[in-house]
């Protein structure tokens, strides 16, 4: 089974959501991507359908936008 991917940008909203998602599904079932730290992953997030962060992309490709922190346009700058 493939892992879900949690995209965030390091803000306090994102970090809080990351902690909650880890508690819900377990870190072993999750890839965590801080796109503020690894900007090369932004195109990957956009291709997956991420429009704002924090967002969880499930293992079957559904995008769950969580507690709006920042739009991708804001992240890209």
Q: Where are the domains of the chain?
A: 4-76
Confidence (pTM): 0.86
pLDDT for position 13: 86
pLDDT for position 70: 61
Q: Which fold has domain 4-76?
A: Glutaredoxin (3.40.30)
pLDDT for position 35: 94
In order along its 77 residues, the chain shows pLDDT tens digits of: 689 999 999 888 889 999 999 999 999 999 999 999 999 999 999 999 999 899 999 999 999 998 766 677 767 77
What one-character-per-residue DSSP string does 24-62 give?
A: HH-GGGEEEEETTT-GGGHHHHHHHT--EEEEEE-TTS-
Which two tokens mark 36? 């503020």
């Amino acid at each position: 089974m493939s892992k879900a991917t949690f995209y965030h940008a390091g803000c306090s909203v994102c970090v809080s959501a990351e902690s909650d998602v880890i508690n819900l599904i377990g870190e072993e079932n999750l890839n965590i991507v801080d796109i503020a730290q690894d900007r090369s992953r932004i195109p990957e997030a956009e291709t997956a359908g991420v429009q704002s962060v924090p967002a969880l992309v499930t293992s079957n490709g559904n995008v769950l936008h969580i507690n709006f922190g920042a739009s991708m346009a804001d992240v890209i700058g």
